[in-house]
Amino acid sequence: MPQVAWSHSRIRTLKTCMRRYYYHYFLADNGWMESASPERRKAYLLKKLSGLPLWTGDIVHTIIEHVIHGLRTRGELVPLDKAQAHAIKLLRKGWVESTKGLGRRHPSKFLLLSEHYYGPKPSKEKCEEYKQRVLRCLHNFYHGAVMQRLRKAGPADYLTTEEFLKFRTKQGAVVSVKLDLAIRADGTAFLIDWKTGKPSAEVSEQLCAYAMYAIKAGWAKDPEGLCCCPVYLNAEDQSRAMPEVPFTWDDLGRKAGSIQKEYEELVRVEGLKNDMGHFPTCDDLNECKWCPFREICEGAMG
Ligand code: SF4
């Protein structure tokens, strides 16, 4: 398969800002190597920056993955208080790394928060708010509808958890997806995406690509055999935290068409990667304000 693959996050980056795409996918490439140029190393460091919402969301994903692994392989459920204690340990570890700035020298090994790199340093209240969010998300995961299904599931019911998967569409586009969880229950394949932030309109586009994979993989014969759901773990009203996003064959066909066009664009820009001049800055100051690459980008300074 060709090196470049369409993915929801990849095309979103390209559409948001071509220059950011260049820094993230091209300039930062191999920037972890001692022999890399200073520009490459800097771009790599900036690419690896995280932020409080992303980092804490990643911790929730990590713990859930760990809990599901225990259920899937040993049939054992880690108690909630243990899972939460594990999350707090990860929060402390990451916070210490980031405040010490260890990631400045070893960005691939240590967490470095954008809030510590660029400032301002988050207040104690803000940190406590994110800690409580992590604990609440885990609590809601344990008490949610998916957990009820997981408790009943046997090893054969698991279709995938957090794996990078690739497939080729009929038109030839190479597509990469990473489903948080897919599980079979009551004759339906449930495709689950954990969300720790607020609902977003983009989610149906993301899930539609997952549905394409599920059909291709034979998890269901048609879209009616799928149940695609974002799960909003931080939602106040947990009775409405798992809205199903239904798809038809027409939806999948439309998505395949848009992926094909976007894939061709990704292949086109791949051929331009040695010349930053082909990747203009964007004019959205809101994007620049929080962009990890703002230190090296003239776009951020207007
Ligand atoms: S700072 Fe602005 S223009 Fe530069 S890469 Fe980031 S989003 Fe694009």
Compute CA distances 285 → 9, 226, 271, whole Å.
20, 40, 28
Q: The pTM is what?
A: 0.96
Give the pLDDT of residue 301.
Answer: 62
Q: Which of 15, 17, 284, 298 for a ligand 1 pocket mutation test, highest count of atoms within 8 Å of Cβ?
A: 17
pLDDT of residue 2: 52
Q: What is the pLDDT of residue 299?
A: 85
CA of 163 to the centre of ligand 1 (A): 30
3-class secondary-structure state, position 167: strand
Please tell me the predicted confidence (pLDDT) of residue 280.
97
Within 10 angstroms of residue 86's Cβ, the number of other Cβ atoms is: 17
Spell out, as residue ranges, where the chain has pLDDT lower than 70.
Answer: 1-2, 300-302
Which residue, by CA, sits nearest to atom 5 of ligand 1?
20
What φ, ψ does residue 162 adopt, rounded to 5°? 50, 35
Q: What is the pLDDT of residue 103?
A: 96
CA of 230 from ligand 1 middle (Å) equals: 29
What pLDDT is attached to residue 302? 59
Which ligand 1 atom sits closest to the C-alpha of 22? 5
Reduced to 3 states (helix: H, G, I; strand: E, B; else coil), residue 189 is: strand
SS3 274: coil
Using the atom order of ligand 1, give the atom closest to the CA of residue 16: 7
**What integer pLDDT is reported at residue 201 of this predicted model?**
87
